[in-house]
Structure 1
Amino acid sequence: MLRLLVLAALVLCGQCYDGVQFMEDNTRVVGGTNAAKNAWPWQISLQYQSGSSWYHTCGGSLIRANRVLTAAHCVDRTVSFRVALGEHNLSQNDGTEQVISVSRIVKHASWNPNNVANGYDIAILYLASNAVLNSYVKLAALPSDGAVLANNYGCIITGWGRTSTNGSLPSILQQAPLPVVAHSTCSTSSYWGSTVKTTMVCAGGDGVTAGCNGDSGGPLNCAVNGVYQVHGIASFVSSLGCNAYLKPTVFTRVSAYISWINANV
């Protein structure tokens, strides 16, 4: 029966692999609320070109004036990309946006788009020019090398992802609380089992709030000593539904890749 459920999910989802679903494409956070304008100034909208138009596909975090951290699966397609910084409402000009083209993409050498459970869903985007840092556009703080947050640690996901599985597409940046689920719990058979590796972070799983399509690449924001750090890069959810019970949103654990990040910025 489980195999049939997985196969059904694969048929229904163009970006599903072995029961997981990537969270890219023009979509938003499940169970979230509108974020205050520019409350998350390192959050970017990754956009791709189709014809003469640009479309949101993923999130990301500005980590240098000309570098963005995102998920590798967000940039597997061969298209032109750009990032929008200082963005809040995708459907209007807020007067705070900076739009910069992506000049180079570096994906982790071990990333395999056909085996998401292997991990390494991480990429760095080189921007064609430096962003102007101000109150609307700021650099993300990253965790220390190897840092692991405790079970139930309070974090917040942000992004322009679906508000429900196959749901509506609000234009305003969303935010939702997602407490960390310890790897020792998330890797049990009741949760994700062996799909989840120690280089990943699980958060949520209560069946209410979750990441969804369009949130991929975006940050899991966790306050440490009063400063928000990007501890996760949104990677995948269950193909049974974005907020499937006991299937937390899974993130690439940023602290597992600090050396790789430093070598590529």
Structure 2
Amino acid sequence: RVVGGSEARSHSWPSQISLQYYSGGSWHHTCGGSLIQRNWVMTAAHCVDRTMTFRVVAGEHNLSTNEGSEQVLGVSKIIVHPYWNSNNVAAGYDIALLRLSSSATLNSYVQLAVLPQAGTVLPNNYPCYITGWGLTPNGQLSNVLLQAYLPVVDYQICSSSSYWGNTVKQTMVCAGGDGVRSGCQGDSGGPLHCAVNGQYQVHGVTSFVSGNGCNVQRKPTVFTRVSAYTSWISSVSGGF
């Protein structure tokens, strides 16, 4: 996934989930997501805006083996942000909440994500990590959860003409863009983790990368900025 990333220590990101769809008699990983309540998952709108049967797997590390820590949870309701427009990802609002048909059991493998305070904007070069099972340089999904260090690129830089220009909005977070490490397809919907006051918080939901490739210089990975949507998240999921 995470291009230029390395394998994460097993279960070191316990709020990360695998969003999977059913096709041809089996389940396939399509996106990441974050467990924000025992029965709610936060992901990207573009991951769920087509009609499919989805499930969530929490406590996952290696997609290809049963490690005994997984919890498979059905999805009973998909709530996409009302302003999301699948024909205009650059408008923003690439966020969705999934209500689960049963509640996850919290343990050392499965934990709730901590969300940032409303309105929090991290400064340029703030250290963060992206995690996911997305496409690796050989074009395959990774079996194991990968992570990569992606420092924040602030809005002023990210929206400049040599970066993303007006494609990027203030409701987004940019990170990376060194031409080596980035997110990629299959990481979508997954988290950007940033430590604030000694605690990792999920500040971004992976939204898009450059059409020219996943790790293009001056085209950082773009995330939905979670702190711009905290009141919507609260109103839908009934608080954190």
Q: Match for residue 246 of structure 1?
A: 218
1:169 aligns with 2:118: no
Task: Measure, in 1, the Cα distance between the counterparts of 2:48 and 2:191.
Answer: 16
Task: Measure, in 2, the Cα distance between the counterparts of 1:74 and 1:168.
Answer: 18
Match of 2:197 among 225, 236, 251: 225
Q: Match for residue 209 of structure 2?
A: 237
Match of 2:86 among 98, 113, 117: 113
Where 2:209 maps in the other structure, the secondary structure is: strand
Measured on the aligned residues, the alpha-carbon RMSD in Å equals 0.7
Q: Match for residue 199 of structure 1?
A: 171
Where 1:264 maps in the other structure, the secondary structure is: helix
Task: Measure, in 2, the Cα distance between the counterparts of 1:214 and 1:192.
Answer: 21
Task: Measure, in 1, the Cα distance between the counterparts of 2:186 and 2:111.
Answer: 22
1:66-85 matches, within 5 Å, as: 66-85=39-58
1:127 aligns with 2:127: no
Task: Measure, in 1, the Cα distance between the counterparts of 2:75 and 2:135.
Answer: 25
TM-superposed CA distance for 1:230, in Å, is 0.2
The aligned amino acid for 1:260 is W
Q: Match for residue 97 of structure 1?
A: 70
Where 1:238 maps in the other structure, the secondary structure is: coil
Decide whether the 8 Å contact of 2:141 with 2:186 is kept in 1. Answer: no
The C-alpha deviation readout for 1:124-183, integer Å capped at 9, x for no partner, is: 00000000000000000000000000000000000001122x623320000000000000
The aligned amino acid for 1:85 is A
Where 1:262 maps in the other structure, the secondary structure is: helix
Aligned residues: 237
Where 1:41 maps in the other structure, the secondary structure is: coil
Task: Measure, in 2, the Cα distance between the counterparts of 1:117 and 1:218.
Answer: 18
Q: Which 5+ residue runs of structure 1 have no aligned equivalent? A: 1-27
TM-superposed CA distance for 1:77, in Å, is 1.2
Identity of aligned residues (%): 68
Q: Match for residue 56 of structure 1?
A: 29
The C-alpha deviation readout for 1:218-249, integer Å capped at 9, x for no partner, is: 00000001100000000000000100110000
Q: Which 5+ residue runs of structure 2 have no aligned equivalent? A: none
Q: Match for residue 255 of structure 1?
A: 227
The aligned amino acid for 2:175 is A
Where 1:74 maps in the other structure, the secondary structure is: helix
TM-score computed with the length of structure 2 as normaliser: 0.98
The aligned amino acid for 1:217 is G
Task: Measure, in 2, the Cα distance between the counterparts of 1:63 and 1:191.
Answer: 32
The aligned amino acid for 2:7 is N
Bigger shift: 167-176 or 68-77? 167-176
Shift >2 Å, 4+ stretches:
166-170
Q: Match for residue 186 of structure 1?
A: 158
Where 1:185 maps in the other structure, the secondary structure is: helix
